[in-house]
């Protein structure tokens, strides 16, 4: 038996986990190793699997049922859960689910590749085609998508941190970021009915590159559905755009040409929503909230995010203002 629990310094946790797994899994456990917080790789003599902790039994059962429903509806580009018996595996108030292990491709998935960006958005479109059929089943189970609430909270928190942030950035840059966020938010708030005119799907909620992965046979998968909600697909499209814009040099033309975005570019609401600097606000709020400003590595990352492509981001904002003519 090989195990890696150095991060806990707690052999008791390891033995409890091993004991529970041996009772549930019909195979000999060979190795357990930590991938990240509350996520472990378990190797047996018959198969490998991912062990992931959830805050409640209900959340685990929703994930099990949802991924099973995706498969049944024809979306095969994701994992499934193993359910050997109904008795939950609970340690330290976490309920652990057992997920199919997908053997990864030798190259990590990133948005720096044009091919990856194209295939990711195509996979999301397939996902929405399926989840549109599941909305009626899950509308009383999953939360509704609340974009405006999220944007307002993010803006208010950033505003409260303004004096701190000005110790690290030029005041004029902080002021410009605030201007972009406030202009965008005020418009969206006054035109919130736009979201209610769109058909709902089940949004993924976190379309970062690490929630896509290729397997050893080059098949692309969509993973980690912890943040799923009911809402119009524009919610994920905005987030996806925000994630890839640095990789395409903040090019409006390149984004507009991508599958799914042509129609959105005809809508003023979407263009103004693109102006909201959600990534900058999110990361500054996080580093201050977690009291990590003394961590030089994390501070350098958030400073780089803010300043590295700032001129291109500013031109992007100005061009969008010209397009909408407001």
* Residue numbers of the domain that contains 92: 2-100
Residue 109 inside a domain? The answer is: no
Q: Which CATH number covers residue 303?
A: 3.90.1200.10
The reply to whether 290 and 213 lie within a common domain is yes
**What does the alpha-carbon distance between residue 36 and residue 257 come to, in Å, rounded to a whole number?**
36
The reply to whether 259 and 170 lie within a common domain is yes
**What does the alpha-carbon distance between residue 64 and residue 97 come to, in Å, rounded to a whole number?**
8
Domain count, the chain: 2
Residue 105 inside a domain? The answer is: no
Residue 132 inside a domain? The answer is: yes
The reply to whether 50 and 75 lie within a common domain is yes
Residue 249 inside a domain? The answer is: yes
Residue 106 inside a domain? The answer is: no
Q: Where are the beta strands (DSSP E) in the chain?
A: 2-4, 29-36, 39-44, 48-54, 81-82, 89-91, 94-100, 200-203, 212-214, 220-222, 229-232
Tokens matching residue 203: 């949004």
Residue 158 inside a domain? The answer is: yes
The pLDDT tens digits of the residues spanning 85-137 come to 778 899 988 999 999 999 999 999 999 999 999 999 999 999 999 999 999 99
**What does the alpha-carbon distance between residue 69 and residue 59 come to, in Å, rounded to a whole number?**
15
| 165 CB neighbour count, 10 Å cutoff | 23
The reply to whether 121 and 263 lie within a common domain is yes
Residue 211 inside a domain? The answer is: yes
The reply to whether 219 and 95 lie within a common domain is no
Judged by DSSP in three states, 206 sits in coil
Helix orientation angle between 171-190 and 310-324, rounded to the nearest 10 degrees: 30
The pLDDT tens digits of the residues spanning 163-216 come to 999 999 999 999 999 999 999 999 999 999 999 999 999 999 999 999 999 999
The reply to whether 96 and 135 lie within a common domain is no
**What does the alpha-carbon distance between residue 106 and residue 23 come to, in Å, rounded to a whole number?**
34
Q: Which CATH number covers residue 35?
A: 3.30.200.20
The reply to whether 86 and 189 lie within a common domain is no
Residues found in the chain: 326
pTM of the model: 0.92
The pLDDT tens digits of the residues spanning 133-159 come to 999 999 999 999 999 999 999 999 999
The reply to whether 278 and 237 lie within a common domain is yes
**What does the alpha-carbon distance between residue 242 and residue 250 come to, in Å, rounded to a whole number?**
9
The reply to whether 120 and 93 lie within a common domain is no
């Amino acid at each position: 038996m090989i195990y890696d629990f150095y991060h806990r310094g707690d052999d008791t946790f390891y033995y409890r986990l091993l004991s529970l797994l041996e009772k549930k899994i019909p195979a000999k456990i060979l190795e357990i190793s930590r991938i990240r917080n509350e996520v472990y790789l378990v190797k047996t003599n018959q198969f490998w699997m991912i062990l992931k902790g959830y805050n409640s039994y209900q959340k685990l059962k929703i994930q099990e049922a949802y991924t099973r429903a995706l498969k049944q509806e024809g979306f095969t580009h994701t994992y499934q859960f193993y359910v050997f018996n109904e008795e939950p595996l609970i340690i330290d108030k976490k309920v652990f689910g057992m997920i199919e292990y997908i053997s990864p491709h030798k190259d990590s998935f990133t948005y720096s590749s044009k091919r990856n960006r194209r295939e990711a958005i195509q996979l999301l479109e397939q996902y929405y085609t399926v989840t549109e059929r599941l909305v009626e089943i899950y509308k009383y189970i999953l939360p509704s998508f609340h974009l405006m609430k999220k944007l307002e909270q993010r803006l208010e928190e950033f505003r409260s941190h303004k004096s701190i942030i000005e110790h690290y950035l030029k005041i004029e840059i902080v002021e410009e970021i605030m201007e972009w966020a406030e202009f965008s938010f005020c418009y969206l708030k006054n035109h919130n009915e736009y979201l209610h005119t769109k058909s709902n799907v089940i949004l993924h909620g976190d379309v970062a590159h690490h929630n896509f992965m290729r397997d050893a046979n080059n098949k692309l998968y969509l993973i980690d559905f912890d943040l799923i909600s009911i809402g119009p697909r524009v919610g994920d499209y905005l987030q996806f755009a925000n994630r890839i814009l640095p990789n395409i040099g903040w090019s409006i033309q390149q984004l507009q040409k991508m599958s799914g975005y042509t129609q959105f570019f005809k809508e003023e609401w979407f263009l103004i929503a693109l102006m909201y600097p959600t990534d900058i606000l999110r990361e500054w709020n996080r580093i201050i909230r977690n009291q990590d400003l003394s961590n030089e590595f994390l501070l350098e990352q958030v400073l780089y995010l803010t300043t590295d492509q700032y001129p291109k981001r500013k031109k992007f904002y100005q061009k969008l203002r010209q397009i909408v003519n407001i």
